[in-house]
């Protein structure tokens, strides 16, 4: 008995894809593969299909425009609804295969982003540029205003009232939600571990609930990939949320004029990750003597 395999490949154009960030239409191609395993009887010459596997693989070409920062400046962020420090630099269109493998990069203009939230921002017409190495958020935003736009230094963001501090904490709360966190690493790691675990279970435990004549291990790997990626993503989000909240609160205290007493009082009505982040940041402020009121 000899085992023969016939492999057929068919390439067809797929639908148009809207890349998430670039807004540019890129054609996506769908790769269809059908594999047939035939068991051939040498004596009679007859063949019988014992397994047929139909699969579809999506080969996607995506493009997005990213900022390669060269300077700092001052501008307006619509999302934050205030004038603040902004990142300024080259707008580079990068193309990726399956959103992972870089293929090309091309400068298409200039771009500005809000330093606080990362949203698109617009540079003030008369605002000057400061080299990226000459300013850091720990220097305080007031210094940057003095260098780039001293005529509007009175518009420096200050969080010294209940209303402004609630806006600050609402921003931190939104940015630390699961859907807004980067959880790709956890999803990938969880998928790999889940696939390996279920594959081992299917190999060594014959009572494994997946009962198919062919492809038992493949189906176990598929289930492991799905369950593992979900578990890994949720796990990473649970771990990352309080860490990101701490970093944002500390960043705000160092960068802006923040009234610590009002901040501590209002934080009590927010989720645990926000309350703990505020306590941690204020503790550091007292221990390290972070002068949050000296950024003038």
* Dist CA 129 CA 90 (whole Å): 13
Burial 247-280, CB ≥16 within 10 A → b, else e: ebbbbbbbbbbbbbebbeebbeebbebbbbbbee
Q: Considering only residues 11 and 58, tell me which one the structure prediction assigns the higher pLDDT.
A: 58
Whether 166 and 266 have beta carbons less than 8 Å apart is answered as: yes
Q: Are strands 257-258 and 158-159 parallel, antiparallel or unpaired?
A: parallel
Place of tokens 């890129």: 26
For the chain, domain boundaries: 2-59, 63-156, 178-288
| Structural tokens at position 58 | 């999506």
Please state which of the ranges 33-47, 87-101, 209-223, 228-242 shows the lowest mean pLDDT: 33-47
- Whether this prediction's pTM lies above 0.95 is answered by no
**pLDDT of residue 125 exceeding 70:** yes
* Dist CA 11 CA 153 (whole Å): 60
What are the C-alpha distances in Å from 251 to residues 49, 109, 158, 237?
64, 30, 14, 20
**pLDDT tens profile 193-250:** 988 888 887 777 666 555 545 566 777 788 888 888 889 888 888 889 999 999 999 9
């Amino acid at each position: 008995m000899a085992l023969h395999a016939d492999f057929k490949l068919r390439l067809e154009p797929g639908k148009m894809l809207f890349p998430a960030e670039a807004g540019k239409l890129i054609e996506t191609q769908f790769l269809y593969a059908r594999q047939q395993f035939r068991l051939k009887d040498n004596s009679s010459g007859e063949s019988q299909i014992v397994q047929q596997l139909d699969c579809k693989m999506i080969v996607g070409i995506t493009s997005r425009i990213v900022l390669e920062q060269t300077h700092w400046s001052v501008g307006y962020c619509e999302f934050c609804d205030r004038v603040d420090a902004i990142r300024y630099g080259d707008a580079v269109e990068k193309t990726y295969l399956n959103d992972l493998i870089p293929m090309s990069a091309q400068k298409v203009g200039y771009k500005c982003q809000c330093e606080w939230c990362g949203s698109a921002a617009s540079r003030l017409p008369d605002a000057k540029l400061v080299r990226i190495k000459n300013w850091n958020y720990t220097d305080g935003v007031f210094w940057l205003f003095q260098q780039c736009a001293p005529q509007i230094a009175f518009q420096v963001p200050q969080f010294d009232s209940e209303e402004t501090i609630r806006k600050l904490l609402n921003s931190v709360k939104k940015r630390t939600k699961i859907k807004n966190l980067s959880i790709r690493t956890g999803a990938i790691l969880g998928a790999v571990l889940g696939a390996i675990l279920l594959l081992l279970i299917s190999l060594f435990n014959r009572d494994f609930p997946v009962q198919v004549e062919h492809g038992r291990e493949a189906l176990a790997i598929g289930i492991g990939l799905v369950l593992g990626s979900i578990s890994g993503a949720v796990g990473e989000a649970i771990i990352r949320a309080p860490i990101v909240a701490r970093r944002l609160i500390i960043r705000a205290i160092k960068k802006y004029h923040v009234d610590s007493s009002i901040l501590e009082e209002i934080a009590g009505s927010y989720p645990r990750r926000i309350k703990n982040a505020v306590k941690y940041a204020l503790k550091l402020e007292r221990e390290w003597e972070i002068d949050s009121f000296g950024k003038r």
